[in-house]
Amino acid sequence: MVAIMNRELAMVIIPIFRLVSILLALNGVPLGFLGRASVKLETSLHRQNLRWYSDFLKVVFKGFLAWLPSINRYGKALELNQSEDMTEFPREPIEEYVKQTLGDDEIGAHTYDHIERVLTLALDMAGEMRVNIRVLGASALLHDIGRPFEKQVEKSHSVLSGEMSVEILRNLGYYDSEIDSVIQAIRTHRFSEGLEPVNVEGEILSDADKLDAMGAIGVFRAIAQASVDNRGIEGFLQHAHEKLLRLRDLMYTEIGQQMAQERHKVLEEFVNQLEKEMGLVS
């Protein structure tokens, strides 16, 4: 009689444990011990072991002790997603890492002040948008750190910068999902590679990076880069027509489209005037 009652009770408990295990695992919480507990129950039943209560409790208790770190980590993740931490990010240590990484390799258009402007633009553009500032801020600061090394390793800096960001972000307590989002945003910021952003942080970063290539600042940066590359005025004009004058129509966000209008006008007027003075147009 007792064995029958045990079996009936277990047949109710086992499916419940399996369902809970599946649901929590889908949310990133490892609960393998629940599955092992249900197996222990079934094994005990097949053997008609009347001490299955004891075996079952041992498995659950041991599993629960092993699970405590996961509970803590999962709880922190939930707390982060529901707190104001999403509106802040560890700016100073990331800035220090970027400066140390770039070293003396800041030449042409891609100097550290470009990174600072992209960050400022990105944060301003975020405004009331539903954005993870931890992801956006880190992406903006780290998006060009691989640029000085891309020729050495023959890899796009949009890929290299993401790879170089992983360790510093982990050390600063970023979750894997946030790191993945940073990598994705950095990977798609370079419009010339034709990759579409997969998250809103990527859209904002791409727009901010393009905005800094437009307007008076964009003109200055393009001329500086043309000088470094020994391409002269002709090189600047070629770059302006092939890239800079196309940026206005490639904005992803509404605020980016609005901000691009004035900067495009300044850029266009400068190019037109330069071509007139060079006698390239009447």
Q: Is the pLDDT of residue 220 over 80?
A: yes
Which pLDDT does position 225 carry in this prediction?
Answer: 87
Distance CA 170, CA 163 (A): 12
pLDDT at 15: 58
Give the residue among 209, 204, 279, 201 at the shortest CA–CA distance from 243.
Answer: 209
DSSP string, 80-136: HHTSGGGG---HHHHHHHHHHHHTT---TT--HHHHHHHHHHHHHHHTTS---HHHH
- Give residue-wise pLDDT tens across range 83-142: 345 668 999 999 999 999 887 655 566 788 999 999 999 999 998 788 999 999 999 999
Percent of the chain having pLDDT more than 70? 67
* CA–CA gap between residue 276 and residue 282 (Å, rounded): 6
**Residue 22: predicted pLDDT:** 52
The stretch 245-263 carries a mean pLDDT of 96
142 or 80: which leads in pLDDT: 142
Per-residue pLDDT at 39? 46
Is the distance from CB of 156 to CB of 193 less than 8 angstroms?
yes
Buried b (16+ CB within 10 A) or exposed e, 151-166: eeeeebbbbbbbebbb
**pLDDT tops 50 at residue 275:** yes
At residue 86, the 3 state secondary structure works out as helix
Domains of the chain plus CATH, in order, are 2-81 (no CATH), 85-277 (1.10.3210.10)
Mean pLDDT of 214-238: 91
Is the confidence at residue 262, as pLDDT, over 60? yes
DSSP 246: G
Task: Calculate the average pLDDT of the chain.
Answer: 78
Phi-psi region of 155 (alpha: psi -120 to 50; beta: other; left: phi over 0): beta
CA–CA distance, 114 with 211 (Å, rounded to integer) = 11
pLDDT over 80 at 28, yes or no: no
What are 33-54's pLDDT values in tens digits? Answer: 444 444 445 545 444 554 554 5
Q: CA angle, 100 as apex, 119 and 140 as ends, to 5°?
A: 15
pLDDT of residue 128: 74
Cβ atoms of residues 219 and 243 within 8 Å: no
Q: Quick: pLDDT tens for 154-205.
A: 778 888 899 999 999 999 999 999 999 999 999 998 877 778 999 999 999 9
- The pLDDT, as a whole number, for residue 46 is 47
